[in-house]
């Protein structure tokens, strides 16, 4: 890594930071969201609402308000937080945090919002989920497992966990219930766009996706330990299986990543192999 990165608030990110994970990834994405940067008339917050309608017609509504600059969930102080959110309980290996400064795991803290209210659901209970933001509404009849998994993915990305800050751009442009190919498209595009915004820009020598593999390796380990946390806190299986569902995507994006990318290569054929002249 360079001895000294770009100045805070410069809007640039060291490419080497994106080749690694953990604290380096945290620092890299922090540089892109410095509160002192001028973002003009952009609203200070944005809201994404998840509304679950259960089989008995009862509802659980999660109005999630995010800080636009940091893409972190703004939460009211929960006192006390559940014991299973303690940082040292099943702390994941890539975690750089210390209990003296962070007594609670940031991911677990965010997930506790959903776990406590949806614990009565079994994985394959049918639910109606409506996801609402300023641009659109998405309505999906699905299993509790899939609905909770989509919500959890957003809660994880909206935490202050250093391991998960790569997902903040995707949280800002949240796509609920994304399938395997949509997820692959989004993570690869996000990674390469982050490199474009980095200190040296996107160069041919830096197009490799090794850094993305490293990120997902750490996320897979985080998921494994988070499953153990949530298992200790729940009586039904929906929350645990929702995390397992997320973990399937994480492990799908570990080596050999090229095999996964080949599954969406065909959609580029019209552009890469045009019958007429390439657009200027």
Q: Which of 20-29, 138-147, 179-188, 189-198 has the lowest mean pLDDT?
A: 20-29
Band (pLDDT 50/70/90 cuts) for residue 279 is low
> How far apart are alpha carbons 21 and 124 in whole angstroms?
35
Residue 75 has what pLDDT? Answer: 81
Residue with tokens 């946390």: 229
111 neighbors 226 (Cβ within 8 angstroms): yes
Neighbours of 194 (CB within 10 A): 22
Quick: pLDDT tens for 249-276: 777 766 667 777 888 888 888 888 877 5
| The pLDDT of residue 23 is above 80 | no
Residue 140 has what pLDDT? Answer: 97
Quick: pLDDT tens for 205-218: 556 777 888 888 89
Q: Helix/strand/coil (H, E, C) string of 23-76?
A: HHHHHHHHHCCCCCCCCCCCCCEEEEEEEEECCCCCEEEEEEEEECCCCCECCC
Whole-prediction pTM: 0.80
> How far apart are alpha carbons 187 and 170 in whole angstroms?
8
> Could you tell me where the DSSP H helices lie in the chain?
15-18, 23-31, 106-118, 144-157, 168-172, 180-196, 210-231, 238-252, 257-262, 269-272
Band (pLDDT 50/70/90 cuts) for residue 203 is low
pLDDT, averaged across the chain: 82
Residue 58 has what pLDDT? Answer: 96
Residue 3 has what pLDDT? Answer: 38
> How far apart are alpha carbons 74 and 154 in whole angstroms?
13
Backbone angles phi, psi at 264, to 5 degrees: -115, 5
234 neighbors 94 (Cβ within 8 angstroms): no
> How far apart are alpha carbons 53 and 69 in whole angstroms?
32
What is the chain's length? 280
Provide mean pLDDT across the span 131-150.
96
Residue 204 has what pLDDT? Answer: 58
Provide mean pLDDT across the span 33-49.
70
Higher pLDDT, 100 or 42: 100
């Amino acid at each position: 890594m360079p001895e000294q990165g770009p100045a805070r608030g410069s809007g640039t990110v060291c490419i080497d930071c994106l080749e690694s994970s953990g604290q380096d990834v945290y620092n890299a994405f922090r540089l892109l969201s410095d509160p002192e940067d001028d973002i003009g008339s952009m609203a200070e917050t944005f809201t994404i609402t998840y509304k679950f309608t259960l089989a008995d017609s009862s509802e659980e509504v999660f109005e999630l308000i995010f800080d636009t600059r940091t893409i972190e969930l703004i939460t009211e102080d929960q006192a006390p937080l559940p014991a299973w959110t303690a940082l040292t309980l099943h702390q994941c290996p890539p975690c750089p945090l210390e209990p003296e400064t962070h007594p609670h795991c940031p991911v677990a803290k965010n997930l506790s919002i959903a776990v406590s209210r949806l614990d009565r659901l079994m994985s394959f209970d049918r639910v109606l989920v409506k996801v609402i933001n300023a641009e659109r509404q998405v309505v999906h009849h699905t299993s509790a497992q899939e609905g909770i998994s989509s919500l959890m993915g957003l809660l994880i990305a909206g935490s202050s966990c250093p391991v998960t800050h790569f997902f903040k751009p995707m949280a800002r442009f949240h796509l609920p219930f994304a399938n395997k190919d949509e997820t692959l498209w989004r993570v690869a595009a996000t990674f390469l766009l982050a490199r474009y915004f980095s200190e040296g820009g996107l160069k041919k020598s830096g197009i490799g996706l090794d850094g993305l593999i490293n990120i997902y390796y750490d996320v897979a380990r985080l998921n494994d330990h988070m499953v153990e946390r949530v298992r200790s806190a729940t009586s039904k299986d929906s929350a645990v299986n929702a995390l397992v569902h997320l973990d399937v995507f994480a492990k799908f994006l570990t080596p050999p990543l090229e095999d996964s990318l080949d599954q969406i290569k065909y959609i580029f054929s019209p552009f890469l192999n045009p019958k007429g002249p390439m657009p200027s």
